[in-house]
Amino acid sequence: MSIVSNLMFPIGAFMNERFLYMPSLGFCLAFAWILNQGMERVDGNRILSARLTGGLMLVIFSLYGVKTISRNLAWADSYTLFTTDVKVSANSAKGNELAGEYMVQKAATVKDVSLRENLLRQSIRYQQKALQIYPKQIIALFNLASAYYSYNKNYDTILTIYSTILHYLPDNPKVYLNFQKLMNQYDNTDHKIELLGRLRAINPERYDVNINLGTIYLNDKKDPVAAVPYLESAVRLNPSDFAAQNNLGIAYGMAKNWAGAKKAFETAEKLNPNDLQLMKNLAAVYQNMGEAEFSKKYLERASNLEKNKIR
Residue 195 has pLDDT above 60, yes or no: yes
Q: What is the pLDDT of residue 8?
A: 67
Least confident of 52-61, 224-233, 286-295: 52-61
pLDDT per position as a tens digit, 220-260:
999 999 999 999 999 999 999 999 999 999 999 999 999 99
Contacts of 260 (CB under 8 A, 6+ apart): 248, 249, 252
Mean pLDDT score of the chain? 89
How confident is the model over 86-114, as a mean pLDDT? 93
pLDDT of residue 214: 97
The CA-atom distances, in angstroms, between 104 and each of 13, 108, 112, 139, 143 are 19, 6, 14, 13, 8
List of E strands, the chain: none
Q: Helix, strand or coil for residue 246?
A: helix
Per-residue pLDDT at 142: 97
* Residue 253 to residue 231: CA distance in whole angstroms: 13
3-state secondary structure of 171: coil
Single out the residue of 279, 276, 265, 284 nearest to residue 309, CA to CA: 276
Domain ranges for the chain, please list them.
204-311
Residue of 213, 278, 214 lying closest to 242 (CA atoms): 278
Distance CA 165, CA 155 (A): 15
Q: What is the pLDDT of residue 111?
A: 94
pLDDT for the residue 194: 96
Q: How sure is the predictor about 43, in pLDDT bands with cuts at 50, 70 and 90?
A: low
* 12 pLDDT tier (thresholds 50, 70, 90): low
Please classify residue 188 by burial: count the beta carbons closer than 10 Å to its beta carbon, then call 0-12 exposed, 13-18 middle and 19+ buried. exposed
Pick the CATH number of 204-311 from 1.25.40.10, 3.40.50.10420, 3.40.50.720, 3.40.50.300: 1.25.40.10
Q: What is the pLDDT of residue 286?
A: 96
